[in-house]
Amino acid sequence: MPSLPPLECPVCGSTLEPDAALRTLACPAGHRYDAAKQGYFNLLTGAGTKFQADTAAMVQARADFLAAGHYAPLAAELARLVSPAAPNAATVLDAGAGTGYYLGEVLAALPGAAAVAMDISKFALRRAARSLPGSYALVWDVWRRLPLPDASVDVVLNVFAPRNPAEFRRVLDSSGVLAVVTPGPDHLQQIRAAAGMLDIGTEKAERVAAAMERWFTPLHTVRCTYEMQLEAADLRNVALMGPSARHLDPAALDRTVAGFALPLGVTASFSLQLFRAR
């Protein structure tokens, strides 16, 4: 089994050591974190976060949608982008890992790598811990200092998640790579307005590149676009698995979905950007 990277205690900054069963993390100063029964560690205990975590219902909708295979081409494209850029990667950090779906695909292409899955949703990390045994699944806020030492990881993944470029660069090795995935402006265009989903800004990939410029050199940008055939359950899940779920009325959504001729062809469109640490 690949060796897990060291972790930093979020209270005092000293090294957190795991026990043999990976059920407890403790530092020399006596700060201790016990794994939840599902296998993840909540390092935000006592500190909290101002950001809203994905709810159990949102995570269930996402798990069902991903299990149907609709984003499998994206996950495969991400693995194809990352693996040749970091063939000898020892550690992969997924900052905003959700259920661990994309991280699992990348690890399959980097079989020697250990993994850290980080998210603020305990409901998502319950699934990540189960699907990625032998990895760290950590409840954490990526806007804070990450609980990892400098230059301790080789790959950072950031898929539909908040970005903290300064911290990503700090924890990356000098030869490390960062992969950022964002939706394209035409993503879900056939249903977004009708379902009342949040809009996607134009030139999102360009804004990402500009935000990364101080810390990273761009390597590649890949556009991944294809058509999905979605049934009623898929349409409901894709609307309720992301931030739009916080303001959507499920009953109104059901009425909207009932008006579509099914299966409905819906565009999946993504930008995958790969950066090298400066």
Q: Can you read off the two tokens belonging to residue 22?
A: 């990976």
Choose among 11, 91, 84: nearest CA to 44: 11
DSSP 3-state of 247: coil
Burial environment of residue 87 by CB neighbours within 10 A (0 to 12, 13 to 18, 19 or more): exposed
Distance CA 106, CA 77 (A): 10
What does the pLDDT read at residue 75? 98
Domains and CATH numbers, the chain: 51-277 (3.40.50.150)
The alpha carbon of 81 is separated from its chain's Cα centroid by a whole number of angstroms, namely: 16
Count of CB atoms within 10 A of residue 202's CB? 10
pTM score > 0.75 for this model?
yes
Choose among 151, 185, 191, 148: nearest CA to 277: 151
Q: Please, are residues 174 and 222 in contact by the beta-carbon 8 Å criterion?
A: no
Indicate whether 200 pLDDT > 90: no
Alpha helices in 68-149 (DSSP H): 72-82, 101-109, 122-131
* Confidence label for 157 from pLDDT (cuts 50, 70 and 90): very high
* Single-letter residue type at 165: P
Distance CA 262, CA 274 (A): 36
Percent of the chain with pLDDT over 70: 98
Share the mean pLDDT of the chain.
94
What does the pLDDT read at residue 1? 62
What does the pLDDT read at residue 201? 75
Distance CA 205, CA 38 (A): 36
Choose among 189, 223, 190, 225: nearest CA to 206: 223
More confident residue, 205 or 271: 271
Indicate whether 184 pLDDT > 80: yes
Indicate whether 72 pLDDT > 80: yes
More confident residue, 194 or 46: 194
| 237-252 pLDDT per residue, tens | 999 998 888 888 889 9
Distance CA 84, CA 79 (A): 9
Q: Mean pLDDT, to the nearest integer, of 66-82?
A: 98
Q: Which residues contact 89 (CB under 8 A, 6 or more apart)?
A: 110, 112, 113, 154, 155
Q: Which residues contact 40 (CB under 8 A, 6 or more apart)?
A: 122, 125, 126, 128, 129, 137, 138, 139
Q: Please, are residues 58 and 240 in contact by the beta-carbon 8 Å criterion?
A: yes
* Confidence label for 195 from pLDDT (cuts 50, 70 and 90): confident
* Confidence label for 156 from pLDDT (cuts 50, 70 and 90): very high
* Confidence label for 155 from pLDDT (cuts 50, 70 and 90): very high
Indicate whether 48 pLDDT > 70: no
What does the pLDDT read at residue 67? 97
Q: Mean pLDDT, to the nearest integer, of 50-66?
A: 92
Distance CA 254, CA 233 (A): 9
| 23-34 pLDDT per residue, tens | 999 999 999 999
Q: Mean pLDDT, to the nearest integer, of 29-46?
A: 93
Q: Mean pLDDT, to the nearest integer, of 75-93?
A: 97
The pair phi, psi for residue 150, each rounded to 5°, is -60, 145
Query: What separation, in Å, do the N-terminal and C-terminal C-alpha atoms of the chain show?
Result: 30
Q: In what helix (H) or strand (E) does residue 205 lie, and over which residues does it extend?
A: helix 204-212
What does the pLDDT read at residue 154? 97
Q: Mean pLDDT, to the nearest integer, of 140-160?
A: 96
